[in-house]
Structure 1
Amino acid sequence: MSRPTETRRWVLAKKPAGLPVLSGPDATFRLETVPLPPLQAGQLLCKARYFSNDAGQRGFIESPVPADRYYINTVPLGEPMFAGVIAEVVEAHASVSESHHQLGQLVMSLHMGVWSEYFVLDAAHAQPVVPNGKIAMTHHLGAFGGPGLAAYTGLHYAARIKPDDIVVVSAAAGATGSVAVQIAANLVGCRRVVGIAGGEAKCAWVRSLLSKGNDNGAQHACVDYKSPHFAADLKRATEGGNATVYFDNVGGDVLDTVLGCMARAGRVAVCGAVSTYNNNNAPMALRNWFEIVNRRLTLQGFILLDFADKLPGAVAELGEAAATGRLRLDGASETVVEVGIEGVPAVWLRLYSGLNQGKLVTKLVV
């Protein structure tokens, strides 16, 4: 195959006031065709195969806090949207070691990819992907990527999880939450794990995850935040409102309800707040905020890069758990959508309407 000379890519055209807009004069993104530059020392030219869709990418468009305080640089207007990616190496600069990055090899980057058919990537940021016939390679963007590693580090190092904990996990049918409930139930062996998900179908799937690899499945539960009885159901599931750990992915009303179900000296690991990402900076109203004082709670925000030295061990443990069946990774654990470059933003937006189960991945057709 001859070297491509240009690529189509999605760039940030306009910062949205709320939910990103797909079309019209206020469209958040613009599809453009640009020439591909010659490679510099240490660079690879890659063909995108899979894009990771993550709720936190909303913060890449517009920081939820003052930009000079945000933990990552946001996407400048006119520049391509950031994304985790699995890609194929189609060209390598002569300075790049062929033993590490051969032509045709699949590589992964959790944060340095972009929404583009082809893109240039520093070889230092390209981790080789070794195919495994038993586990789909897309799980390198999910359970073995940012979502799974956030679940692992958040539970172990931010929440300091222990076997005698009663653990609550919100967005338990999502990419991070579905791994978090399995870590708590099947790897750590917590005495009770309570997932929170939207709708009975997702709750049933979470309950099936909680029954794997241990003898404690009957003690675990999943409650539906869409139910009119959500608060009462959660209180019952947490043994009268005595959760010792809460892994929070959503913020908002769910966080407010869980604060009212925490035990004294409980720990809250704050991974994200997806319910607030598209609300145009409206304040989060928490009726139960004083429970932090009343129950002497500890809230710990974190990002997985806080624990970069722990990540190789985390990947190894998650891989061993998948091999032994304690971490379920199958077709139900991810939603893979196949589209051309034109459909990439629309697939990403599915995250905010609850249409996916497990990890949402875009398979790019070029």
Structure 2
Amino acid sequence: MEESIKTRQWQLAHKPRHEPQLSGPEQTFKLAEVDLPEPKDDEVLLKLLSYSNDPAQRGWIDPDIPAERLYVPPVKIGQPMSAFGLAEVVESKSSKFSKGDTVTAPTGWTEYAIVKAGSCQPAKDLPSGLSKTHYLGALGLTGLTAYFGLTEVGQTTKDDVVVVSGAAGATGMMAVQIAKKIIGSKKVIGIAGTDEKCRWVEKLGADVCLNYKSKSFAEDLKKETPAPDGYASVFYDNVGGEILDLTLTRMGSGGRIIACGAISSYNTSAERTTGLKNWFEIIIMRLKAQGFIVLDYANKFGQAIELFNKSLQDGKLTLDESSETVVKTPFEDVPKTWLKLFEGSNQGKLVTQLV
């Protein structure tokens, strides 16, 4: 590349305390055009193909979370919104990658990016013509989050009754399959937001999936976790809020709560740490609740990915078009697609595919 290249970016303009705004005086993101320099040694120039949409991104732009409490640097005003991307190598100054390779990398919301070659992971062709966008979800950090949450944090076994909230989401749908088909837990109960999603989660392997919007949800959950032998022993929680509060009452003695996410409160900061009525259940039932970040287990990523690949070949993992919601998006609408995360409209992983 003989001269700099121009690229558009979506940069952070205002840190939202509630729902991010697409327009108005407190618009969360602004569209900008910047010049990128030539890549240096051991760097690559990438053209973005798709973005991963993750609930965790909401925390990276929250003004009420101090930087020292985050596991990654927060996005600063004027910086591109942080995101993982699937991209094509346009130019390489590294022996690791060649022009035309497809990779995943932390790129941000930008059309082109220059990144260190060491931060890129190859995205090779997948069997049966599976889309490479799965590297942003089930075969990437999302699937790894489900796996290490269950195995390392929850210490899940074949003898466990496992409940998974957000079971039709990107992490939840992998947690259901891993618990039932790889670990072999005796009962897996999913929780999702529509009857259609519940039936899909059951097809993935859940013994039953309950619609939390149903008027009978509380009774349904009680029925599926009968006292005392049918109580849940592991709760993989992606949602928090009222669902967590209710599930605390259905946990058996010594149960483990895998605190992965709390999407129910991400856009309502005042309620983020309040609202649990059943905290006493943790005491009387000797429950363990542990939060975690998937990066804690980075040294084990390789062996987990190998297990995923073998499980795909053995039919223990189901991955197809229904496992992700790919939204074809012009660059001008990237923030709009991201906000679909908080509407509950996606099934499986929500991916922004640039057009």
Unaligned segments of structure 1, at least 5 residues: 212-219
Among candidates 246, 263, 266, match of residue 255 of structure 2? 266
Q: State the match for 1:229 in structure 2.
A: 216
Does 234-243 or 294-303 show the bigger shift?
234-243
Q: CA deviation at 1:90?
A: 0.7
Among candidates 241, 260, 264, match of residue 252 of structure 1? 241
**Secondary structure at 1:22 match in 2:** coil
Q: CA deviation at 1:17?
A: 2.2
Q: Does 1:8 align with 2:3?
A: no
Q: Does 1:108 align with 2:97?
A: no
Q: State the match for 1:144 in structure 2.
A: 139
* Aligned counterparts of 2:99 and 2:82: Cα–Cα separation in 1: 24
Amino acid at match of 2:208: A
Change (3 A) 1:351 1:2: farther
* Aligned counterparts of 2:339 and 2:3: Cα–Cα separation in 1: 32
Q: CA deviation at 1:256?
A: 0.2
**Secondary structure at 1:167 match in 2:** strand
Q: Which runs of 4+ in 1 moved over 6 A?
A: 1-4
Q: CA deviation at 1:281?
A: 3.1
Q: CA deviation at 1:307?
A: 1.1
Q: Does 1:191 align with 2:186?
A: yes
Change (3 A) 1:131 1:317: same
Q: Does 1:324 align with 2:314?
A: yes
Q: State the match for 1:346 in structure 2.
A: 336
Change (3 A) 1:22 1:117: same
Alpha carbons 1:45, 1:92 under 8 Å: kept:
yes
* Aligned counterparts of 2:64 and 2:210: Cα–Cα separation in 1: 29
- Residues 347-366 of structure 1 mapped to structure 2, 5 A cutoff: 347-365=337-355
Q: CA deviation at 1:239?
A: 2.8
Q: CA deviation at 1:227?
A: 1.1
Q: CA RMSD in A?
A: 1.5
* Aligned counterparts of 2:64 and 2:246: Cα–Cα separation in 1: 23
* Aligned counterparts of 1:295 and 1:63: Cα–Cα separation in 2: 36
Amino acid at match of 1:54: D
Amino acid at match of 1:347: T
Unaligned segments of structure 2, at least 5 residues: none
Amino acid at match of 2:131: A
Aligned identity (percent) is: 46
Q: CA deviation at 1:24?
A: 1.8
* Aligned counterparts of 2:149 and 2:58: Cα–Cα separation in 1: 20
Amino acid at match of 1:242: Y
Residues matched between the structures, number: 351
Q: State the match for 2:232 in structure 1.
A: 243
Q: CA deviation at 1:63?
A: 6.1
Alpha carbons 2:4, 2:37 under 8 Å: kept:
no
Change (3 A) 1:199 1:129: same
Does 61-70 or 356-365 show the bigger shift?
61-70
Q: State the match for 1:337 in structure 2.
A: 327
* Aligned counterparts of 1:37 and 1:62: Cα–Cα separation in 2: 30
Q: CA deviation at 1:66?
A: 2.5
Q: State the match for 1:79 in structure 2.
A: 79
